[in-house]
Amino acid sequence: MSVLLLTHPDCLAHDMGEGHPECPDRLRAVLRALEAEEFADLLRDRPEEAAREHLIRVHPPDYVEAILGIRPAPGEMVALDADTVMNHASARAALLAAGAAVRAVDEVCGGQARRAFCATRPPGHHAERRRPMGFCLFSNAVVAARHAQAAHGLARVAICDFDVHHGNGSQDCAQDDPSILFCSSHQMPLYPGTGAAEERGAGNIFNAPLPPGADGAAFRAAWRDALLPALDAFAPELLVISAGFDAHARDPLAQLRVTEADFAWLTDRLCEVAERHARGRVVSLLEGGYDLPALASSAAAHVRSLMRA
């Protein structure tokens, strides 16, 4: 069984304005990289929109309706905070991004694909239960985890986040639920200001903050020495990856010095954990990454590892 790539052209219509780092060209860069001949064996499909029931497992119904009710006219925008903006296409794009997470879980848990990568936007790991922020509207990774439990009967799901920014939204949505493990490496101090090692939730939160300037060796050590042992001890039945590539040395929004080889190394290690505990099942969701060439090459390295493992 191969790796499934889920994406949708309507995710390109979500636009937060000229000069915004979370732009449609990010997704275009990733998809161009995955058109190379070495990725010819990817299974490719389009997701459908997530249903309300998928979203309200994570977010209160009034929050979901409020976000989906924001439908500006073409050419107009609504700012939710200083960083997060919606245009006429944003609500549909957010539903497609969450829907891709749901579809990926169904395909991987149903045995139609071994692993899946969702190349969609907007990202999700900053969206808290009741608050959009950091370019994110819905907590896609937690939507995936809760769907795996509700629809496929899984008891333990792990979310592994290597975006350079702490996934405060994923943590907020999962921190009271010991059936979901959240592991994160990230730069600290940095937006959003959360992610200290002392933040443990219900014993299910494991944060490994890295100082500005930390390189690939420090990144690998954080996972090898702290996060991967916690992940193994949890023995997840599914791994959900929040695959942000803004820890790359060329990224303009942070100061870590991770490379494509480091992302590939970690993907290999996560797939090994999945082989030990989860029948190899991995669902990966695109999060950050704002230098377009670095994003493209890093995403390609990640998917290459998903296909190889």
The catalytic residue positions are 126
- Measure the CA–CA gap between 293 and 213, rounded to whole angstroms: 20
CB neighbours of residue 150 within 10 Å: 13
For residues 116 and 6, the answer to whether their CB atoms sit within 8 Å is yes
Instruction: Say whether 181 sits in a helix, a strand or coil.
Output: strand
CB neighbours of residue 17 within 10 Å: 10
Backbone angles phi, psi at 89, to 5 degrees: -100, 0
- Measure the CA–CA gap between 302 and 260, rounded to whole angstroms: 8
- Measure the CA–CA gap between 196 and 194, rounded to whole angstroms: 6
Instruction: Say whether 86 sits in a helix, a strand or coil.
Output: strand
End-to-end CA distance of the chain: 12
Cross-sheet strand order for the sheet of 115-118: 43-45, 3-6, 115-118, 282-286, 238-243, 157-161, 180-187, 205-210
Q: How far is CA 166 from the centre of its chain?
A: 11
The H helix count followed by the E strand count for the chain is 10, 10
